[in-house]
Structure 1
């Protein structure tokens, strides 16, 4: 009644006013003090209607039948108001009788009735699901739209608790949210809920749920209202858009992560790592064995009769799984028969997809019965193989399996995997071409490097050469030990700037020229000047070089430096030190305007050691050269049983696996 603005008046059996509501005061002007205890008929009714009203009062009190009608009553200001009345008898627990009158002016009453009818139609015809629940979270009202959304009729919901009969979403989270709204009064708007309804258990749906607290005009909490909007279409569109964004992000990530080096195995590992866990739970990268024999490979089928030889390069899993044990180990060579799905994939150059894997399919996926049992135990339920194709040639395939991911592979997954495979295939193809070129350069360079002569007068020597890491090209580092006339020995270490076959070839030409010039018994500075002229003709190459000649009869070493790092001299019983040599200008730059090449002579005693090296031994990106040279001299303070042991120790301590440069190291000890 407070909500509707209806005036309430209660009369005792004598017709005196015993309850006068605030709405009655507002409607008729009398305060409770002015109205309570007074006969209602005398206060409110005109004289001409007094008998009729008293008769109606007796009728209600005696028969208990209600009465409704319209008549005029007095307002405190002297005017009269035409009001519509609803009258009924009340009885208390002692048998006392009272009359309740509800009054409202007709215009307001019509408006209230109209608003109530409109509200009822709005609730009933609204496409938004609406429900009202008591503070104990039991349904008291449900509109037809909520019945349709939840798939449960109103009679199954009314009076029941929310948790036991919520037709959608997560009941625990929603109930907690309702209790929070009841406690704080803060509405919860547009909470996204995803779930399934009893009428369509296989289809995932989405709803937007809003909650707000209901209070009476006095502020008493009377319940909570809930509105529910089905937003499944928007949810599906958002989900698809999110998937598209994720696919683009994965492709961008693959572009960055795949092909960071020109190492074939590393590229395969990068492809497998990108594929899990976003695309598959287990991924394996296999290549045809003929591809690894070099660009172009061996023509024709690998073994004939539809069989192929496959070499595994990488396996990755999103979690520990026996499915990994079912895959070929990286580096293994396997013979795949024509019934295997990977064979079909590389033979047809098309993806092979099994969305729902059966027991028979597992035998076509696995290499043998044991592997098939492992895949079954791992829960493999969906499979895909995508060919690796570069420059029109099938190089191998990427093998993808899903175990924990419950979704089967879809056409979108095929497109994403194909994009990964195409990018990776180009990188793998580049890596195998590079491997062939690098192997050729390495073979060429090793063929040009000398063996230490077995007998040197007054000297013993040891050397080491290490090429750059697998992902870098072969450089132009070299060393040489050249016996000369009058029992002298030339010690040479040089570095042609650049890499690849051409750098190795330039190194070979400089080494040959150095050997020729050494036989002329020229001063080291003169030898380097001739080498400078030769290097200038090898445009665009520049080289650095240390050239030293040891004379055992004079116990002296004459040294010249063309832009190279200084050698280390270790005196017997003394501390190692860097020789202070005129650095000179690198070979190929020319001496015009540069630093002139000069020789210096150093006396050497039995037990003294001279250490020559290239920059790959000491240069790094994260430490300055002085720090690294100090580390080198510090390591040389300790003597090993042999020079070869010292060479190995220096390489082990100073050489980093990721150094993108090769190393030449030459050590010579004076024997006397």
Structure 2
């Protein structure tokens, strides 16, 4: 059978695959010439490659003595000796020999000579020759390629069209932890079962199909060389073709970029930590309310860091005492906030907000605040739960909820441990790591200052509120001709207690003084100033002074309490004349309500605030008949940041319209309609109704 122009390739299973061999192969590059001589040294076969190499056609070469045609005279004896040696069966001869070209030039050819024996016993000599320079170039290129492949630090491999290894270099053997012979004939998935090979094999198929190289594909996984560590590689793939364009397979290069991968992961973790901390800076500490600040910390931690978070403060810190936990002693915590990423039994295991819990010295949260260091249990066991939960029931709830990792970090503000942030994971399958502890500590450090600010503010506010309430009047005795109701409401949690006050002062001759005032400012000092002014007002009213004289004296007293100013309305009711003389010092006007009439703001001289000094005060007489009401109030009832004062005063007058109601109801109705729980100012409200 004529198989000229066909090549037999060995497939991946070792079977012979016959098919045409396109031009451009290695033999074509070398241009190997075949020449056959008979026993006398005459040329009997002359290949086309011989004609291309030496210039003689077959007609010119056949039948002629090779030594005379191709060899210079000075080399003839040497050639004849070598010919005789080959023909006598003493072996083959190989080497470089100068041969004369048809054009007269001499060419150095690389020869392989051997004896042939036909079926009749006749002897022949076969010479295979190629140009020495071409052969040396090919050998040099091949040697360079082999050396580069063998010594390259880059893992190199060649795969056939079925994506099975046919060659790997030593570097890839080291990278994969697998000898070359264990690669050959296998796919990536078979050779590297610990690696997610599907994306890589998909890329290889794409390269085979399109011929477009795949560059720097990132692959992460584990190998047999280092199964306990995750590595990263940059893999590039190229399609291999022969000179005729036939696809032979793909070549791959693999560069270990694990260090770069780890650096990138660390940089990404650092960026993530910064983003979380920046978000926490915005979300935590929006108010000075202690419980809300604790809730904000818990909400930031869930689900960013944990499936559930609890914020607990040492009870001593809430009381304003030093919070050092005695070595070996228990710790008392007050739970402030609990947050969960989803409904879970573990939330029931946490201490409810507001509760006080005692944890012995061996408990992990106690160890955390005692050592001022994070306590982490990456993998929680049954014994660990008994050191985390408050009691066996809570431990059982946490176990059923699937809690498997625990982290507690201390809340440290101004060098003092004030509590702890407790974190647990259940659905999140990853255990806590040192990176998590670092991030949690950063969040806790920032939040602790906000919590500490809220803690001290609440203590100061409670003190001021206690002081102010102690300075406000007790319910007055039964008044002649008047029925009164009053309210004091402190500012919301985000602001301090102010200096608002009211007074109901029974005076001789059945007269009654009604006073409402507001010390500008807030806090303990404002409350103290308010108490001093109230005492002075009581003293001045007891002297039987007119309203203008009372305010004049209060103005002098307030000027000595620099830098404080105050507004005030002083109303003196005389039931015998059915009149009320009113004088104001920079205060909002009272409202008069009369049966059958619309409520009205009294048009009174405003006057300057107390403490300005040198400004006279004027008094206005207002008739009050039985059933008439007088409403006195401080600006906290009507002032807001988003509406002008006239609009708010109109709202007050509108609310007072309609049939007259019980005074207590009117007080509550005004506060509910005009006040918001977070209003930044306190309010004093006083309503008096004339009786027969």
TM-score range relative to shorter protein? 0.7 to 0.9
Distance 1:650 1:227, change over 3 A: farther
The within-5 A match list for 1:26-175 is 41=58, 106-134=132-160, 137-163=163-189, 165-166=191-192, 169-175=195-201
1:479 aligns with 2:502: yes
Task: Between 234-243 and 364-373, report the one with greater CA deviation.
Answer: 234-243
State the match for 1:98 in structure 2.
none
2:567 maps to 544
**Counterpart check, 1:617 vs 2:637:** yes
Q: Distance in 2 between matches of 1:158 and 1:640?
A: 101
Q: 1:383 aligns with which of 406, 424, 429?
A: 406
Asked if 2 retains the 8 angstrom alpha-carbon contact of 1:563 and 1:583, the reply is yes
Q: What residue number does 2:471 align with?
A: 448
Alpha-carbon distance in 2 for matches of 1:10, 1:602: 135
> Hey, what's the Cα distance between the residues in 2 that align with 1:167 and 1:147?
15
Question: Which residue of 1 is the match for residue 682 of structure 2?
Answer: 662
- Aligned 8 A contact 2:175 2:225 in 1: no
CA distance in structure 1 between the partners assigned to 2:210 and 2:600 by the alignment:
79
Report which of the two structures shows the higher radius of gyration computed on alpha carbons: 2
1:463 aligns with 2:486: yes
| Cα drift, residue 112 of structure 1 | 3.1
The aligned runs of 1:176-195 (5 Å cut-off) are: 176-179=202-205, 181=207, 187-195=213-221
Deviation (angstroms), 1:10: 12
Q: CA deviation at 1:296?
A: 5.0
In 2: Cα distance, 1:535 partner to 1:187 partner: 88
Measure how far apart 1:424 and its partner are.
4.8
Alpha-carbon displacement from aligned partner over 1:201-245 (angstroms, at most 9, x marks no partner): 322112222344556667776654432211222333443444455
* Worse overlay, 419-428 or 145-154: 419-428
**Quick one: distance in 2 between partners of 1:660 and 1:343?**
38
The CA deviation at 1:428 is 4.5
Which of 354, 357, 372 aligns to 2:380? It is 357
Tell me if the contact between 1:73 and 1:83 (Cα under 8 Å) persists in the aligned partners: no
Q: Is the 8 A contact 2:303 2:341 kept in 1?
A: yes
Instruction: Name the SS of the counterpart of 1:202 in structure 2.
Output: coil
1:512 aligns to what? 535
Partner of 1:63: none
Task: Say if 1:52 and 1:551 are closer, same or farther in 2 by CA, change over 3 A.
Answer: farther
Alignment gaps of 5+ in structure 1: 31-38, 54-66, 88-100
Correspondence 1:527 to 2:550: yes
Runs of 5+ unmatched residues, structure 2: 1-22, 35-43, 71-93, 114-126
TM-score of the two chains, using structure 2 as the length reference: 0.75
Q: Distance in 1 between matches of 2:546 and 2:217?
A: 88
CA distance in structure 2 between the partners assigned to 1:472 and 1:341 by the alignment: 37
1:632 and 2:652 correspond: yes
1:192-231 to structure 2, matched below 5 A, reads 192-214=218-240, 223-231=249-257
Residues 319-330 of structure 1 mapped to structure 2, 5 A cutoff? 319-330=342-353
Shift of 1:552: 4.8
Relative to structure 1, the CA distance from residue 140 to residue 513 in structure 2 (aligned partners, 3 Å threshold; closer, same or farther) is same
Cα distance change of structure 1 residues 338 and 106 upon mapping to structure 2, 3 Å threshold: same
**Separation in 1, partners of 2:99, 2:578:** 141
Q: Partners in 2 of 1:622 and 1:45 — Cα distance?
A: 115
Counterpart CA distance in 1 for 2:460 and 2:63 is 119
**2: distance between equivalents of 1:155 and 1:405?**
42
- Deviation, 1:510, is 1.4
Deviation at 1:497, TM superposition (A): 1.5
Shift of 1:367: 2.0
Following TM superposition, by how much is the alpha carbon of 1:538 offset from its aligned partner in structure 2, in angstroms? 0.8
Counterpart residue number, 2:667:
647
Q: Is the 8 A contact 2:325 2:370 kept in 1?
A: no
Rounded to whole Å, the distance in 2 between the matches of 1:662 and 1:233 is: 62
Q: Deviation per CA, 1:90-117: give whole Å up to 9, x if none.
A: xxxxxxxxxxx99986434432332232
CA positional deviation for 1:460: 3.2
1:235 and 2:261 are equivalent in the alignment: yes
Match of 1:336 in 2: 359
Structure 2 residue aligned with 1:563, among 586, 591, 594?
586
Partner Cα distance (1:573, 1:503) in 2: 41
1:262-297: CA deviations, max 9, x gaps?
Answer: 433334334434444454443323334344444358
Q: Which residue of 1 aligns with 2:38?
A: none
Distance across 2 between alignment mates of 1:533 and 1:43: 141
Partner of 2:81: none
State the SS of the aligned residue for 2:228: strand
Distance in 1 (alpha carbons) for counterparts of 2:446 and 2:271? 19
Other structure's SS at 1:203 match: coil
Quote the RMSD (CA, aligned, Å). Answer: 4.8
Residue 18 of structure 2 corresponds to none
1:435 aligns to 2:455 (yes or no): no
Shift of 1:369: 1.7
- In terms of mean alpha carbon deviation, does 126-135 or 369-378 score higher? 126-135
**Cα pair distance change 1:393/1:83, threshold 3 Å:** closer
Separation in structure 1 between the aligned mates of residue 133 and residue 628 of structure 2, nearest angstrom: 121
